[in-house]
Structure 1
């Protein structure tokens, strides 16, 4: 899965399952905290942020007349890869 962002850092489109889904509404952005001490024994000094999990909730469409779906995207600390957490039909 790939996420394309605007210059301002807002999701513009999501490539999922071989298709490009255009963001059709204002996305929602938030962070949660990871309990890294429960999942990793040690963290090297200077690694950076190991606790903030980033989320985007985006409403997307394949075309102007297709159904609206909601994708919840997650990026774990120290990762550049976005993961699809959930998909719901609206």
Structure 2
């Protein structure tokens, strides 16, 4: 399943558990808990409004503190399940996480 940010059919809210440094550890989505795979590299960036295609990236903690925060992580339901790629976003003035995209891992 892939959700498109260009033509979203609905907004999907998530619960995201973070480590002390702010990196996602687990995602509660669709009644299930997905664990972020520590063996994969997560991608973090700060950007513009993804709905307008202005995802100009800046290094996390860079010069755009008011921009939307994004994380792309690989997560799985259990040790034997397939990896899925989650793209998460959050407005810096909100604690609510949104799902931008979910697709097969890799």
How many residue pairs end up in the alignment?
76
Q: Computing the radius of gyration over CA atoms, which structure comes out larger, 1 or 2?
A: 1
Match of 1:70 in 2: 85
Is 1:59 equivalent to 2:74 in the alignment? yes
**CA-based RMSD:** 1.7
Structure 1 distance, partners of 2:79, 2:16, is 19
Match of 1:22 in 2: 35
Structure 2 distance, partners of 1:20, 1:32, is 27
TM-aligned CA distance change 1:50 to 1:14, over 3 Å: same
Structure 2 distance, partners of 1:77, 1:7, is 17
Q: TM (normalized to structure 2)?
A: 0.66
Higher strand share: 1
Is 1:11 equivalent to 2:46 in the alignment? no
Structure 2 segments unaligned to the other structure (5+ residues):
1-13, 50-63
> Runs of 4 or more off by more than 6 Å in structure 1?
none
Bigger relative contact order (CA 8 A; separation at least 6): 2
